[in-house]
Amino acid sequence: MDALFRDDAYAQRCTATVVSVDERGIRLDRTVFYPTGGGQPGDSGVLRFDGGEIRIADTVKGDGGPDDVIHVPEDGAAPPAPGTAVEAVIDWERRHRHMRMHTALHLLCAVVPGSVTGGQIGADKSRLDFNVPAASLDKDAIAAAVNALIAADTTVGTRWITDEEMAAAPELVRTMSVKPPTGSGRVRLLDVEGVDLQPCGGTHVARTGEIGGIEVTKIENKGKQNRRVVIALKD
């Protein structure tokens, strides 16, 4: 399966062929649909084909490795048969918000000291949990620091390293709860130039300026040494 979203987060559509259909959903030979993972929700969208179309409610990973992507149809929709040629189109507005949010969380990670214990991306709000002591985090100061990094309009890129290089550089892993996706021989690093560098398989915007500005809506105490920082996009 060709995971087109991995090389081009801006690809909104592609042609593809249905490989198989089972009770979980539809597998294609290639796709622009990002499957739920790394705190980022799976894409929704539509598969169009000769004679109809089917709404895709969610995209998830199967058991066949990182590139086993299952398109989950909306309830009751009849899927196209294996061999059918389709055009796969994601709900771009929703996905682009995920990309902006996801990139904003990398900046948040760079601004707040301490390791990350969890996180969740959403189109309307996102959060990261930090393992930091009782020292209080300041909402306005964090928002100002993140927005300064956004205003700097820094390049966001990816590069690949080998599993061995990854193993030799444990300091790259900021997120304790998510193991880097090793096993395929190589690991993708997300590089916000000079700001944040860590393994990540998600989709991001190409420059930080595209995030457009965030606010820190709340900081919650989630137990000893656990602070949850919640952000929203300004628009």
Q: Which residues bind Zn ion (CB under 5 A)?
A: 190, 200, 202
Closest CB 102 distance from Zn ion, rounded Å: 5
Q: Of 9 and 190, which has the nearer Cβ to Zn ion? A: 190
Closest CB 72 distance from Zn ion, rounded Å: 23
Q: Of 56 and 101, which has the nearer Cβ to Zn ion? A: 101
Alpha-carbon distance of 12 to 92, in angstroms, equals: 6
Closest CB 204 distance from Zn ion, rounded Å: 6
Contact 130, 226 (CB under 8 A): yes
Closest CB 69 distance from Zn ion, rounded Å: 18
Long-range contact list for 226-230, CB < 8 A, 24+ apart?
Answer: 226/117, 226/129, 226/130, 226/131, 227/129, 227/130, 227/132, 227/137, 228/127, 228/128, 228/129, 228/130, 229/108, 229/112, 229/127, 229/128, 229/129, 229/130, 229/137, 229/142, 230/125, 230/126, 230/127
Q: Of 26 and 200, which has the nearer Cβ to Zn ion? A: 200
Q: Of 141 and 160, which has the nearer Cβ to Zn ion? A: 160
Q: Of 54 and 178, which has the nearer Cβ to Zn ion? A: 178
Closest CB 77 distance from Zn ion, rounded Å: 31
Alpha-carbon distance of 151 to 175, in angstroms, equals: 25
